[in-house]
Chains A and B, each alone.
Chain A
């Protein structure tokens, strides 16, 4: 099983719909992140959480919300999806004690298309 699992892998949704992307990890890491990847723009941080009670906005948080349900679970919601939110979404984890040894561990991504 993957260390960081994202569901769904692919999703097509209509404009205005609410959608949730889920991420779960088995690494026991305390820190979790949601990134968005667009061609030519690299990885941009949406939200991050350093522990269950900690939620922080990233570079591009508008139009998104998150929930850290447990140490192992971090979900990303699009309250009312719009076409320019079509992108590849990645969840990542890290541990405060080993972050400078192994960096972040990424999931396989969710490809979201908003029509």
Chain B
């Protein structure tokens, strides 16, 4: 079946370094992708999104890259800070099915070392 997954379940980086979190998706018909951040004790929060007609989108300290050829999504965080420590989820929009329109990956935990 269709799935969204992550290459690395945990990632540990030094404060100030750049972080890259990866996500693989399997549905070539997905047209919209989102990255969410979930801090401990909180619900997921929208970080950045990208449509399938784009290959790169930048926000404040974050960049999302989309490679449709290999069905790969990545989130880059520049100058990682302790406040970036959280679990990061990718999600793809794929209409219909029992998973609803938005299908979530399993998450990557990012730990930032001071």
List residues of A whose CB falls within 8 A of some B CB.
4, 33, 40-45, 48, 56-59, 90, 92, 94, 99-109
Question: How far apart sit A41 and B46, CA to CA, in the bound complex (Å)?
Answer: 19
Known: A33-B100, A58-B98. 10 other contacts (CB 8 A): A43-B89, A100-B32, A100-B51, A101-B49, A102-B46, A103-B34, A103-B49, A104-B46, A105-B46, A109-B42
Q: How far is the CB of A25 from chain B (nearest CB, A)?
A: 12
Residues of B within 8 A of A105 (CB): 46
Give which listed residue, A41, A90, A102, contacts B44 with CB less than 8 A. Answer: A90
Question: How far apart sit A40 and B44, CA to CA, in the bound complex (Å)?
Answer: 15
B43 touching A103 by the CB < 8 A rule? no
Question: How far apart sit A102 and B44, CA to CA, in the bound complex (Å)?
Answer: 12
B26 CB within 8 Å of chain A: no
Residues of B within 8 A of A94 (CB): 102
Residues of B within 8 A of A42 (CB): 89, 104-107
Q: Which of B91-107 contact A (CB under 8 A)?
A: 91, 93, 98-102, 104-107
Q: How far is the CB of B64 from chain A (nearest CB, A)?
A: 13
A109 touching B43 by the CB < 8 A rule? yes
A108 touching B91 by the CB < 8 A rule? no
Q: How far is the CB of B104 from chain A (nearest CB, A)?
A: 4
Residues 39-59 of B, flagged 1 when their CB comes within 8 A of A and 0 if not, give 001111110010100000000
Give which listed residue, B42, B102, B107, contacts A104 with CB less than 8 A. Answer: B102
A-B contact pairs, 19 of them (CB 8 A): A40-B9, A42-B104, A45-B98, A45-B100, A56-B100, A58-B98, A59-B98, A92-B43, A94-B102, A99-B101, A100-B49, A104-B44, A104-B46, A104-B102, A106-B44, A106-B45, A108-B42, A109-B41, A109-B43
Residues 10-48 of B, flagged 1 when their CB comes within 8 A of A and 0 if not, give 000000000000000000000010101000011111100
B99 touching A45 by the CB < 8 A rule? yes
Q: Can you list the 3 inter-chain pairs with the closest CB atoms, starting with the nearest?
A: A106-B43, A42-B106, A43-B104
Residues of B within 8 A of A58 (CB): 98-100
Q: How far is the CB of B88 from chain A (nearest CB, A)?
A: 11
